[in-house]
Structure 1
Amino acid sequence: MKQHFFKATILASAVFLAACSTTPTTTSTLDQARSDFVMANNTPNISAYAPLEFKQASDALNEANAAAAKNDSLEKIDRLAYIAKQKISTAMEVARTKAAEANIAGAGKQRDALRLEARTNEADRARADAEAARAQAAMAQAQAADATARAASAEDQTRDAQARAAQLESLLSDLHAKQTERGMIITIGDVLFGTDQANLTPDGMATVRKLATVMQQYPNRTVLVEGFTDSTGTVAHNQELSERRASSVASTLTTMGVARERVAMRGYGPSYPVAANDTANNRQMNRRVEIVLSNEGAPIAPRAAAR
C-alpha cells in the first residue's frame, strides 16, 4: 500500500515540475489544488487509510497539470483542477474518518458520532463525485457543440462556393466563354475591332466591360490576352497587328479597374489558326483575340507549341 501511495505522489510531483519547466498556463484553482495535494501528502496515515482515494486524487492532479503544460484553455484547466481538489478533499476525509474509527473502536457513543460523520463525509463525497460527473458532462456537451458548429461552418462554406460558381457561370455565359484545361476562354472576333485596326468597336468595349466585372468580383483570377491573325499579308505585319490588338484589350481592362499585374498579353500572328485560311469566312475566324481567364488561384498554363 505504502509503495503504491509513494508512486502516486512521485507521479503528481513529476507532472507539476515538468509543467513548471515550460512556463505553463495556470489558474488560482490549479494552484490551490497543488497546495491541497501537498497538505494531503503530509497528512498522517493517508497512505494507510485512503490509498485508493489518494491515488485517484494524484491522477486527477496529473491530468490538470498536463492540461496546464499544454496551455489548454483556462476553462478546461479550472474544470480539471476543481475535480482534483474534490478528490484530494475526499481522500483526506476518508483518511481522517478511518483513523478516527480506529482510535475509538471501543467507544459506543464516539462510534455513533463517527458513523454519523462518516455518513456525512460519504454524502459529501457523493456530491463531489456528482459535481465531477457534471463537469465532465459539460465538457462533453461543449465539445459536441463545437463539432456541430464546425460542421455547420463547413456546410456554409460549401454553399457559398456553389453559389459563387453558379454566379460565375451566369456571368460567363453572356460572354460565350468556353471551359478548357487552361481556364475559361472568351473570344473577341474580328468584327469587334476596326478593320485592320487595334481599336475596339462599341460592342467590343461592352464585351471587355463584362469581363472586367467578372475580374472585380473574383480577385484570385488572372487573364492572359492572346492575339491572332490570318495568314494574309506579311508575317511582320500580322505579328504586329496581333500584338496591338492583344495590348488594346489588356489596356482596356486596366482602365476599367483591373490591376495591371493581373493582366498579361501575347501576340501570335497567324499561328494557331482555328480554321483553314482558304475562304474569307475562315480567315475572319482566325482574326481574333482570345482571353484566357484563369481557374481560381491557379496560374494559366502556356499554350502548346504550334504544329
Structure 2
Amino acid sequence: MKKFILLPAAFAVSVMFAACSSTPTTTSQLDQARGDFQAAQSNPSVAANAPLEFKAAADALDRANAAAAKRESLDEIDKLAYIAKQKVATAQEAAKAKQAEGEVANAARQRDEIRLQARTAEANQARNAADRAKTQAEQAKADADAARAQADAAAGSAREEQAKNAALQQQLADLQAKQTERGLIITLNDVLFNVDRAELSPEGMRTAQKLADVLMQEPQSVVLVEGFTDSTGTSAHNLDLSQRRAESVRNALIGLGVPAAKIASRGYGEAYPVASNSDAGSRQLNRRVEIVLSQNGAPIANRR
C-alpha cells in the first residue's frame, strides 16, 4: 500500500510566517482542526487503514491554513477548518472500520486455526497414547530381560565369590593359618631357612609363593613379618638374625608381587618364645617367622 508523507498544515503555516513579524490569522475552529489532524497523524492505524481519506483531510487542512495565511475572512477560514475537521473524522472512522474488518477476519482465521489445532491435537493424543502403550510394553519386556540377566549375573557372581572364598580358605588351611586377636597368623618354621642364615631355602620360597597368592587376594590387608630365634647365642646375634630373616621374607613377598607399602618387618630375637628352649625340639619351635595378616585394613596391635 502506498504511504503518503504529509507535512501537517499547522507546521506549514508556522514556516510561512516565520520570516514576518505579524501574527497569522487563526480561529478556534482552525485550531481544533489542526489538533484533530495531529491526533490522527500520531495514530499509525489511520495512515495504514485509510490512506486516501487521510490524504483528503491533509489537503483540506492545507486549504484552511492557506486561507488563514492570506488573512481571508474568519467565516471562510472557519468553513474550510470545519471541512478539514470533518475529513479528519471521516479518515478516523474509515480507519476504525477497516481495522474492525481486519479483526473480524483475523478472529475467523483464529477460530478455524483453533478447530484445526483441536482436531490435530486429538489425532496426536491418540497416536501418542498408542506410542506410550507400545513403549510401556517394550519397557516391561526390557525390564524383565534386565531383571533376569541381573539375577543370572548375581547368581554367577555369588557362585564365583563362594568358589573364591573356598579356595582362599583352603590356601589358609594349607598354610596352617590361625585366627588371633591380632589377626591371622601364619608361621614359617626354621627348616625354611639355611642353618644360621637368613636366606630362604627352595622350600621356603615355595611357601612364600603360597603366602603371596593369599595376600594378593586380600588387597586391603596389612602385613607384619616378625622374626624370632631361640636363646642359643648372644642376644645381639639373635636379634640381628631374627630381623634379617623377617626382612628376607618381606623381600621375597615383594618380589612375588605383593605391594611393599603394605608389608612391614620386625625382629624380636629370643623374645616371645613359644617353647622352653630346654631341648632341641623346643628351640626349633622358637626359631620361626610369623606373618600377621590384619584383614580389612585394620592396624595390627603390638605384642604384649
Deviations 1:89-140 (A, max 9, x none): 9x923999xxxxxxxxxxxxxxxxxxxxxxxx7xx97665444323223223
CA distance change for structure 1 residues 259 and 188 in 2, over 3 Å: closer, same or farther?
same
Distance (whole Å) between structure 2 residues aligned to residue 252 and residue 131 of structure 1: 66
Q: Indicate yes or no: 2:244 matched with 1:244.
A: yes
Q: CA separation in 1, counterparts of 2:270 and 2:150?
A: 54
Partner residue in 2 for 1:197: 197
Gapped runs of 5+ residues in structure 2?
A: 1-108
**Residues 43, 92 of structure 1: 8 Å contact kept:** no
TM-score normalised by the chain length of structure 2: 0.52
Structure showing greater radius of gyration is: 2
Q: Report the CA distance between 1:182 and its aligned residue.
A: 4.4
The one-letter amino acid paired with 1:277 is N
Q: How many residues align?
A: 196
1:290 deviates by 0.9
State how far apart, in whole Å, the 1-side matches of 2:211 and 2:278 are.
32
Q: Tell me if 1:92 matches 2:111.
A: no
Once the 2 structures are TM-superposed, how far is the Cα of residue 245 of structure 1 from its aligned partner? 0.8
The answer to whether 1:133 aligns with 2:139 is: no
CA offsets 1:246-275 (integer angstroms, 9 cap, x no match): 011112223344443343211122333223
1:199 counterpart SS class:
coil
- Aligned to 2:241, what secondary structure does the other structure show? helix
Q: Is the contact made by 2:183 and 2:300 (CA closer than 8 Å) also made in structure 1?
A: no
In structure 2, what is the Cα distance between the partners aligned to 1:200 and 1:263?
17
Distance 1:43 1:152 in 2: 60
Which residue number in structure 2 is paired with residue 145 of structure 1? 145
Change (3 A) 1:44 1:220: farther
Residue equivalent to 1:32: none
1:240 deviates by 1.4
Bigger Cα displacement from structure 2, 174-183 vs 150-159: 174-183
Amino acid in the other structure paired with 2:143: Q
Structure 1 length-normalised TM: 0.52
AA partner of residue 150 (structure 1) = Q
Distance 1:192 1:264 in 2: 20
Shift of 1:183: 4.2
Aligned to 1:86: none
Change (3 A) 1:139 1:257: closer
Give distance in 1, aligned partners of 2:213 and 2:192: 19
Q: Match for residue 305 of structure 1?
A: 303
- Structure 1 portions without partners, runs of 5+: 1-41, 50-88, 97-120
> What is the identity percentage for the equivalent residue pairs of Structure 1 and Structure 2?
49
Q: In structure 1, what is the equivalent of residue 9 of structure 2?
A: none
User: Partners in 1 of 2:269 and 2:146 — Cα distance?
Assistant: 59
Over the aligned positions, Cα root-mean-square deviation in angstroms equals 3.6
The answer to whether the Cα contact below 8 Å between 2:246 and 2:265 also exists between their aligned partners in 1 is: yes
